[in-house]
Amino acid sequence: MKTKAGRISKTTKNDLITYAMVILAYIVMQLLVSTGHVSSLIQGLLVPFCTYAIVAIALNLTVGILGELSLGHAGFMCVGAFSSAVFSLAFKGAMPSGLRFFIALLIGAVTAALVGFLVGIPVLRLRGDYLAIVTLAFGEIIKNIINALYLGVDANGIHFTMKDALSLNMEEDGVVLIKGAQGVTGTPNDSNFTVGVILVLVTLFIVLNFIRSRTGRAVMSIRDNRIAAESVGINVTKYKLIAFTISASLAGVAGVLYAHNLSSLTALPKNFGYNMSILILVFVVLGGIGNIRGSIIAAVLLTLLPEVLRVLSDYRMLIYAIVLIAMMIFNWSPNAIFFRKRVKQRLTAGRKSGKEA
């Protein structure tokens, strides 16, 4: 009993440290901003930090807890971003911005969850690399469709087409909400650092509680041994779908935050293509698979890195690539892990002998 109680308090303590870290970072940043010690660049990056932290936590739920590789999370982010941006643009000026953003958040989260659920039904039947490639395919399909989508409203209602803006046949006074490749222009700027941090905390709360819940334990048992889990009566498909849908929904929340931070929203290969999905995966892998706190730190670090490297001008992305490879080898190579262990052992041994003396 005693050991069990000790272990529980340890995980709880671990979770509390994560919350505390986010809150502390928020307070420190707010203090620095209010005293004018933060450059415009960092101030501008605060919301993206939150966006990528949320989506990294979301993906970690799929990769670390569910144990399946998804290369399509940018697609869910894209769905959340576009659905919420369309809503906010349509109701710009029609309701107070706080309420509007709240509804936009719900819309983004629900739409992404719905798409995640629909994608999850076929996808989760597959395994390993095949699952990864199918999620990648779904992400690309979502991006491709949104790039060909035209949506507008006028007095006659909603018009929509997959061809071009002319085929919308709008009245003179109509507003084009999604304009194909140009996407959504003029989304109100409702995201800010405080909202971002609150959303990070909510995401953390959802994910950490999910992991510690009965459902979460069922999901992890599927990850560790699917056959054993099945044999004790766990409904594999159901639990996988639950985890995947939550993950997609949270990615959608990140998308909402992203969309409301910029006035121009486009679905380019750069921001919602497979490259972005892979970048999110980099956050997760670098921060430690299954390590939620690590995901947040890695997301912040890797979002900051290319900006800090701007001083290198032409060599920026080159150095970024080298740093990425070096970090991966340092964090994951069996030799490097062994080396770090030895260094640590020597340090702790030194401290012990120091104490004794």
Partner 1 sequence: MSFAAHLINGISLGSVYALIALGYTMVYGIAKMLNFAHGDVIMIGGYVVFVTVSGMGLNPLASIIISMAVCTILGVTIERVAYRPLRGASPLAVLITAIGVSYLLQNIALLVFGSDTKAFTNVVTLPNLELFDGQLVIKSVTIVTVIVNIIIMVGLTLFVKKTKIGRAMTAVSEDQGAAQLMGINVNGTIAVTFAIGSSLAAIAGVLLCSAYPALTPYTGSMPGIKAFVAAVFGGIGSIPGAFIGGILLGVIENLSKAYISSQLSDAIVFSILIIVLLVKPTGLLGRKIQEKV
Partner 2 sequence: MKKKMLSLVLAGAMMATVLTGCGSTGADAGSTAEGTTVDAAEDTGADNAETDVAGTESADATDAAQTAGAGGTFKIGGIGPLTGGAAVYGIAAMNGSQIAVDEINAAGGICGMTVELNFQDDELDAEKSVNAYNTLKDWGMQVLDGCVTSGCSIAVAAKSVEDQIFQLTPSGSAVECVTNDNSFRVCFSDPNQGSASAQYIGENGLASKIAVIYDSSDVYSSGIYEKFAQEAANQPFEIVTAGAFTADNKTDFSVQLQQAKDAGADLVFLPIYYNEAALILKQASDMGFDVQFFGCDGLDGILGVENFDASLAEDVMLLTPFAADATDDLTVKFVTTYNEKFGETPNQFAADGYDAVYTIKAAAEQAGITADMSNEEICTALSAAMTQIKVDGLTGAGITWDASGEPTKAPKAVIIKNGVYTAM
In sign, the C-alpha dihedral spanning 260, 262, 265, 269 is negative
Alpha-carbon distance values, 191 to 98, 150, 256, 317 (Å):
10, 25, 9, 28
Instruction: Specify the residue, 39 or 353, whose C-beta has the smaller distance to partner 2.
Output: 39
Binding string, 125-144, against partner 2, x = CB under 8 A? ---------------x---x
Q: CB-based contacts of 223: which residues, under 8 Å, 6+ apart?
A: 65, 66, 67
- Residue 78 CB, shortest distance to partner 2, in Å, is 13
331 binds partner 1 (CB under 8 A): yes
Q: Hunting for tokens 């699952």 — which residue is that?
A: 131
Choices 69-77, 83-91, 109-117, 334-342 (CB under 8 A): range interacting with partner 2: 334-342
Which option in partner 1, partner 2, none does residue 155 bind, with CB closer than 5 to 8 A by kind?
none
Of residues 90 through 129, those in contact with partner 1 by CB under 8 A are 122, 125-127, 129
Tokens for 325? 């490879």
Measured torsion, CA atoms of residues 45, 285, 251, 320, in degrees rounded to the nearest 10 = 30
294 binds partner 2 (CB under 8 A): yes
Name the β-bridge partners of 84: none
Q: Are 295 and 56 in contact (CB under 8 A)?
A: yes
> How far apart are alpha carbons 33 and 237 in whole angstroms?
47
336 binds partner 1 (CB under 8 A): yes
Closest CA to 201 of 14, 11, 20, 330: 20
User: Helix, strand or coil for residue 157?
Assistant: strand
Using the rule CB under 8 A, which residue among 20, 308, 322, 349 binds partner 2? 308
> How far apart are alpha carbons 53 and 204 in whole angstroms?
10
38 binds partner 2 (CB under 8 A): yes
Choices 22-30, 104-112, 200-208, 327-335 (CB under 8 A): range interacting with partner 1: 327-335
Instruction: Specify the residue, 126 or 201, whose C-beta has the smaller distance to partner 1.
Output: 126
Using the rule CB under 8 A, which residue among 1, 5, 166, 227 binds partner 2? 166
Which option in partner 2, partner 1, none does residue 341 bind, with CB closer than 5 to 8 A by kind?
partner 2
Q: Hunting for tokens 């992991």 — which residue is that?
A: 211
**Amino acid in position 94:** A
Q: Are 185 and 268 in contact (CB under 8 A)?
A: no
Of residues 169 through 188, those in contact with partner 2 by CB under 8 A are 180-183, 185-186
Instruction: Specify the residue, 104 or 220, whose C-beta has the smaller distance to partner 1.
Output: 220
Q: Which residues bind partner 1 (CB under 8 A)?
A: 63, 69, 122, 125-127, 129-130, 133-134, 137-138, 140-141, 144-145, 147-148, 162, 227, 274, 278, 281-282, 285-286, 289, 314-315, 317-318, 320-322, 324-325, 328-329, 331-336
